[in-house]
Amino acid sequence: MQTRREFLRFGAAGALGLALPRAFAKGAAAGNWSLVETSRDGARLTSRTPAGAAAANAPTLSCDPSRRHQKITGFGGALTESSAYVLKQLPEAARLEVFRRYYDPHEGIGYTMARTHIGSCDFSLSTWSLAESPGDYELLDFSLKPMRRWLMPLLHDAHKIAGTERFRLVASPWSPPGWMKSNNQMDRGGTLREEYAATWANHYVKFVRAMRDEEKIPVWGLTVQNEPEANQSWESCLYTPEQERDFVRRHLGPTLARENLGGLKLYGFDHNRDTLERRADAMLGDAETAKYMSGMAVHWYVSDDYGAEARVLKKYPDKEVLFTEGCVEGGAKPGDWAVGERYARNLFGDLNAGVSGWIDWNIALDLRGGPNHVGNFCDAPVLVDTKGGKVLYQPSFYAIAHFSRYVKPGAYRIEAGGGPQGLQSSAYVNPDSSVAVVAFNPGDAAIDFNLDIAGQRRGCRIPAHAIQTYLV
């Protein structure tokens, strides 16, 4: 089902036609309780007043801030060449307004994380690498030049608005340069040739240092390979679990350590939940590999087995699982509420399973769901009418915001249970000791319940097909 399309038009002066919702700053006060709501009926982070006194006959959702689970790193989206191209079609003020809505710590939805691609990906305008000279074992011709027209300005905008202290950039390769691979091309799978394994490991170092020294943008973390089990028509490279383990153990891990980059976060897998456990056992179950690893990264395609994430974290309690990609495929879906609900289900599922951070796919695309140089179009939380100068903030944008705006970096997920049937919930205590409780009703009828936070109790109602965040 589609809701009204919320296009925002930018005039000649670049002014935003609709102010940021007041709820971005604060919810509707009820004592020291605040509540914001997004619904299929049209509410968008709208301030509401909690219902009031607790009802004796209503089930109670109880939250205990003293029972803590995982620490939250943050939330974010992917900064791709396609997103950069689309946003560049807007007037500068309009483009920066999109970034403020995402990354501004006061006016936006609280993004602090981002993911970008090392070399091209399907959401690039063409296929390119940062090391184009075949046989260049020493990477003497390595250069960030291919990133500088479109992608680098996007990274600078996000970094500047978020601030260096808050910004957490994860970088992922979709493929080594073709000359390093068994099939001599960046697309259609292939594998890393063993004679170039040391060179490819050094490529990560070159990238991190060039971003830091030339662009003044720090890289916070790396994934070894985007989707190592997928042989795609676009940029891709295949690793079995054992091959990825051996590359980290023999080459990438020691190279990062030797080059004093061992403090970078390093995540394996970066693929779907359905085979997460096998990959984790191969990599995290090997002590020589695990010492270089922060944990595993996951995507949402194919599987909604959130239990796989929980099982990996239980088996390897000193490691993390980071969510690094998800989108609804098949092109743009303007105003589609069902997409927002899919985002909500995944956010609740991943975070309640123990995921420490959540990074969406493209932050913005055009009305086709592109550009994409192989036609692999998909949806995004922000769609841009590049001809009309309009911006559409999708239901998925607001679904993410119910977490990202109110669950701060450094928060801990806390125990929450006992709520009514049909209500999904997740609760957090922030570094300032405030508590954020996010609730989701995917059903067709409103739900009445009591919310108890450390002994404070109020009666609450969540409409059908709605997401709420309570802040206490």
The structure tokens 């993410």 sit at 400
The burial class, CB within 10 Å (0-12 / 13-18 / 19+), for 32 is exposed
| Phi, psi angles (nearest 5°) of residue 114 | -155, 155
* Catalytic-residue membership of 165: no
Question: Is 366 within 8 Å of 384 (Cβ atoms)?
Answer: yes
Give the residues across from 36 on adjacent strands: 47, 469
Single-letter amino acid code for the residue at 154: L
Query: What is the distance between the alpha carbons of residues 292 and 324, in angstroms, rounded to a whole number?
Result: 19
CA distances from 283 to 192, 264, 269, 273, 310 (A): 18, 17, 9, 15, 17
Query: What is the distance between the alpha carbons of residues 272 and 303, in angstroms, rounded to a whole number?
Result: 7
The structure tokens 């109790």 sit at 457
Question: Is 269 within 8 Å of 252 (Cβ atoms)?
Answer: no
CA distances from 256 to 203, 249, 366 (A): 10, 11, 37
Mention every residue, 6+ apart, whose C-beta is less than 8 A from residue 323. 297, 298, 299, 300, 346, 350, 355, 357, 358, 359
Q: Which of 61, 60, 65, 33 is nearest to 47 (CA)?
A: 33
In eight-state DSSP terms, residue 302 is: S
Question: Is 39 within 8 Å of 443 (Cβ atoms)?
Answer: no
CB-hemisphere CA count at 13 Å for 178? 12
Query: What is the distance between the alpha carbons of residues 297 and 222, in angstroms, rounded to a whole number?
Result: 10
Catalytic: which of 37, 81, 97, 325? 325
Return the beta strands (E) in 72-220 as ranges. 74-78, 113-118, 168-173
Catalytic: which of 6, 227, 235, 341? 227
Which sequence positions are flagged as catalytic? 227, 325
